[in-house]
Amino acid sequence: MSSQRKTHDKLQRIMGRTLRQYPLIEPGDKILIALSGGKDSLALMDLLGERMKRSQGGFELAALHVRMPHVGYSTDADYLKKQADKWGIPFHLKVASFSPDTNEKRSPCFLCAWNRRKVLFDEAQKMGFRKIAFGHHQDDLIQTALLNLTFAGSFNTMPVLLKMRKFDMTLIRPMAAIPENLLKEWAALQNYQPLIKTCPHETQGNRLKMKQLAEQMERLNPDYRHSIWHAMEKSGILIEEMADHEETSLSF
């Protein structure tokens, strides 16, 4: 068996367990993929696209790429559309912007993420989609939990399944149990095209520090992620119901 096949099977096996455990996809679902253009969202589209094809109409996918021209990064929309076309997934591009905020506590990253999320919600509703899938992986959820413990004094993270109460929308994270190193391996095997220009803020802020802290924890205990993941499952924070579309704590 080739290394690509082994990696593919492992990714789909882990995702399959997550989809069944929560469950995240139901017959007849219309799911909008939040396609950033990075390796994680591209992998999400490939993995879900394959499952959609196998389901023979069991659920429907579309992909939305939100572009913020003034943020300082750049993507190749033609390439993203080509990747979506592989699975017959309709590709949508939305250009949006936001005004500077006088609140110093709201970083450019927070404002960009919040406004992207708002566009995703608005466009999903217009298209008649009731679920939005994000490409966050296990390391994202663990590092968010560490962020909230360190800076917000709470044990919270981005949930695998988040249902809204004010309107009919659900956020899902099908790759939540997949470690980032496996996605990096898959991205290399698939030869994903990198962003033309990365965000200038991605190497700033506390999230990078949490990533470095997680690396130190892994050196201390190679099984640290399993311990934290078990704690998150046991506490029930991986499933959440909310009154509006702003995720809590430091999820952005």
C-alpha pair distances (Å), 121 with each of 10, 64, 142, 250: 31, 11, 25, 19
Strand 30-34 and strand 131-133: the pairing is: parallel
pLDDT for position 105? 61
- Phi, then psi, of 222 in degrees rounded to 5: -55, -20
Q: Domain 3-242: give its CATH superfamily.
A: HUPs (3.40.50.620)
pLDDT for position 99? 67
* Single-letter amino acid code for the residue at 143: Q
Query: Long-range contacts: 4-7, Cβ < 8 Å, 24+?
Result: 4/189, 7/182, 7/185, 7/186, 7/189
Residue stretches of the chain with pLDDT short of 50: 245-252
pLDDT for position 252? 33
pLDDT for position 71? 66
DSSP per-residue string spanning 40-103: HHHHHHHHHHHHHHHHTSSSEEEEEEEE-TTSS-B--HHHHHHHHHTTT--EEEEE------S-
The full set of domain ranges for the chain reads 3-242
pLDDT for position 204? 59
Tell me the pLDDT tens digit for each residue of 144-178: 999 999 999 999 999 999 998 878 899 999 999 99
Structure tokens, 202: 């991605």
